[in-house]
Amino acid sequence: MIHHPELVPTGSHAVQPWWKNAVLYQIYPRSFQDTNGDGIGDLEGILHRLDYLSELGVDIVWISPIYRSPQADNGYDISDYQDIDPLFGDLDAFDALVARAHALGMRIVMDLVVNHTSIEHPWFVESASSVDSERRDWYYWRDPRPGFEPGTPGAEPTNWESFFGGPAWEYDASTGQYYLHLFAREQPDLNWENPQVRDAVYEMMNWWLDRGVDGFRVDAIDVISKLPGLPDGGLPRPPFGVGHECFADGPRLHEFLQEMHERTFDHHPGSFTVGEASNASPETALLFCDPERREFNMLIQFEHVNLGLENGKFSPRRLAPGELADVLTRWQDTLGTRGWNALYLENHDQPRSVSRFGDPSRYWYESATALATAYFLQRGTPFIYQGQEIGMLGGDFTAAADFRDVESVSYMKRLGIDEVPEGLAAMSRDNGRTPMQWDSSPAAGFSEAVPWIDVPASAEHINVAVQAEDPQSVLSYYRALISARHVVPALTDGTFSRIDASAPALFVYRRSTPGSDVLVMVNLSGQHHAPLFSPEDEAVASLPWRLYLGNTDRSQTTTDEVGDQMRCEPTVTTPMKPWEARVYLLAD
Dump the DSSP string for 506-542.
Answer: EEEEEEEETTEEEEEEEE-SSS-B-----GGGHHHHT
Q: What is the pLDDT of residue 356?
A: 97
Residue 405 has pLDDT above 60, yes or no: yes
Q: What is the pLDDT of residue 563?
A: 63
**Of 121, 81, 342, 78, whose CA–CA distance to 206 is shortest?**
81
Residue 561 has pLDDT above 70, yes or no: no
Low-confidence winner among 90-104, 131-145, 402-416 (lowest mean pLDDT): 402-416
Q: What is the pLDDT of residue 334?
A: 97
**Of 504, 501, 521, 531, whose CA–CA distance to 581 is shortest?**
521
**pLDDT class of 375 with cuts at 50, 70, 90:** very high
**pLDDT class of 553 with cuts at 50, 70, 90:** confident
Q: What is the pLDDT of residue 588?
A: 79
Give all strands (DSSP E) within 173-271, no chain letters: 177-180, 215-219
Q: What is the pLDDT of residue 382?
A: 98
Q: What is the pLDDT of residue 481?
A: 98
Q: Residue 129's Cα: distance from chain center in Å?
A: 37
Reported as type and span, the H/E element at residue 3 is strand 2-3
Residue 566 has pLDDT above 80, yes or no: no
Give all strands (DSSP E) within 92-242, no chain letters: 107-113, 141-142, 169-172, 177-180, 215-219
User: How far, in Å, CA of 240 to CA of 353, rounded?
Assistant: 21
Q: What is the pLDDT of residue 536?
A: 86
User: How far, in Å, CA of 475 to CA of 468, rounded?
Assistant: 7
Q: What is the pLDDT of residue 491?
A: 97
Across 286-300, average pLDDT: 96
What residue spans of 377-435 are helical by DSSP H? Answer: 406-415, 422-427
Which sign does the torsion angle of CA 305, 310, 314, 315 carry?
negative
Among 214, 276, 349, 517, which one carries the catalytic annotation?
276
pLDDT tens digits, 410-466? 999 999 988 999 999 999 999 999 999 999 999 999 999 999 999 999 999 999 999
For the chain, give the number of residues.
Answer: 588
Across 508-530, average pLDDT: 97
Across 202-226, average pLDDT: 98
pLDDT tens digits, 8-52? 998 888 899 999 999 999 999 999 999 999 999 999 999 999 999
User: How far, in Å, CA of 483 to CA of 479, rounded?
Assistant: 6
Across 228-256, average pLDDT: 95
Q: What is the pLDDT of residue 173?
A: 97
Low-confidence winner among 77-91, 237-251, 515-529, 545-559 (lowest mean pLDDT): 545-559
Q: What is the pLDDT of residue 103?
A: 98
Residue 557 has pLDDT above 90, yes or no: no
Residues 374, 411: contact at Cβ < 8 Å? no
Own/partner long-range contacts of 166-174 (Cβ < 8 Å, ≥24 apart): 166/410, 166/414, 168/243, 169/142, 171/144, 172/128, 174/128
Burial of residue 104, with CB atoms counted within 10 A of its CB: 0-12 exposed, 13-18 middle, 19 or more buried: middle
Mean per-residue pLDDT over the chain, rounded: 96
Query: Is 219 tagged catalytic?
Result: yes
Residues in CB range of 443: below 8 A, 6 or more apart: 435, 449, 450, 451, 455
**pLDDT class of 560 with cuts at 50, 70, 90:** low
The CA-CA-CA angle for residues 251, 256, 258, to 5°, reads: 115
Residues 342, 380: contact at Cβ < 8 Å? yes
Among 170, 214, 219, 407, which one carries the catalytic annotation?
219
Q: What percentage of the chain carries pLDDT values higher than 90?
A: 94
Give the helix, strand, coil percentages of the chain, each rounded to 5: 30, 20, 50
Question: Whole-prediction pTM value?
Answer: 0.96
Q: What is the pLDDT of residue 417?
A: 87
> Phi and psi (nearest 5°) for 400?
-55, -35
Q: Residue 337's Cα: distance from chain center in Å?
A: 22
Low-confidence winner among 189-198, 531-540, 566-575 (lowest mean pLDDT): 566-575
Burial of residue 370, with CB atoms counted within 10 A of its CB: 0-12 exposed, 13-18 middle, 19 or more buried: buried
Burial of residue 373, with CB atoms counted within 10 A of its CB: 0-12 exposed, 13-18 middle, 19 or more buried: buried
Query: Is 560 tagged catalytic?
Result: no
